[in-house]
Amino acid sequence: MPQPLLSLENLIFRWPGQAEACLDIAEFDVAANEQVFIHGESGSGKSTLLNLIAGVLTPQSGKIEALGQPLSALSATARDRFRVDHIGLIFQQFNLIPYLSVLDNVLLPCRFSRRRSDRAGDAKQTAATLLQHLDLDAALWQRKATQLSVGQQQRVAAARALIGRPEIVIADEPTSALDAARQSAFLELLKRECAAASAALLFVSHDQRLAEHFDRRVAMEEINRAAGAQE
């Protein structure tokens, strides 16, 4: 079996000042190009998990390995660098910087990451292609992010997560602000583009109905032994 893209082992995370662990994961692996649906109610620790994988938080014990790199061994700055180099993030809503244009929002990771910038090649051209693939009309590109509909904004965020072909895309409830019809459409677009960019997709949601779009489905309650402990 090839080395997993992302590998968690005996991970324990506790918020400072709390006695109970909020996250306690024995084992969780993600393979390259894999698309995983992670289901969890609020409070199940999924946001914490994402922050750990993104390197914003560090666990008290256990191992997080991404692309063969032990994240917990890296300095805060190195983790920040690792994040922008290898991970694309999409949030529930308000993903975009209001005073930047759509195009500049998409190009944001290239500003901070040399690797993403290099891998994007002609960054503007790549951004344009991504935006086109995500059904965003060229007329919108120079607009301020705030002038777009929520659905459009989420697609811009997806384009930004994908630019420079990071190995991992993490989407945290990216469809919860969309209506049902647009949810599926967005999801399919996202899956297609992640596959095209050969990025693994970690899709986190409390909405079970979306699970059907994924082959691998994981419930937070299954992997997190501390789930429900704090509520």
Chain residues binding other proteins by CB under 8 A are: 47, 50-51, 54, 56-57, 76-77, 80-81, 83-85, 89, 91, 94-100, 104, 108-109, 111-113, 160, 172
Compare residues 91 and 185 and give the one whose CB is closer to other proteins: 91
- Least distance in Å: CB of 154 to other proteins? 13
Compare residues 150 and 185 and give the one whose CB is closer to other proteins: 150
Compare residues 155 and 160 and give the one whose CB is closer to other proteins: 160
d(CA 49, CA 22): 10
CA dihedral 171, 175, 176, 177 (to 10 degrees): 120
- Least distance in Å: CB of 117 to other proteins? 10
Tokens 């290099």, located at residue: 118
Residues ≥6 apart with Cβ < 8 Å to 164:
109, 110, 113, 115, 116, 117, 118, 119, 120, 123, 126
- Least distance in Å: CB of 161 to other proteins? 9
Instruction: Label residue 66 exposed, middle or buried (CB < 10 Å: 0-12, 13-18, 19+).
Output: buried
Compare residues 42 and 149 and give the one whose CB is closer to other proteins: 42
Compare residues 26 and 97 and give the one whose CB is closer to other proteins: 97
- Least distance in Å: CB of 215 to other proteins? 26
- Least distance in Å: CB of 95 to other proteins? 7
Residues ≥6 apart with Cβ < 8 Å to 28:
6, 7, 8, 11, 218, 223
DSSP 210: G
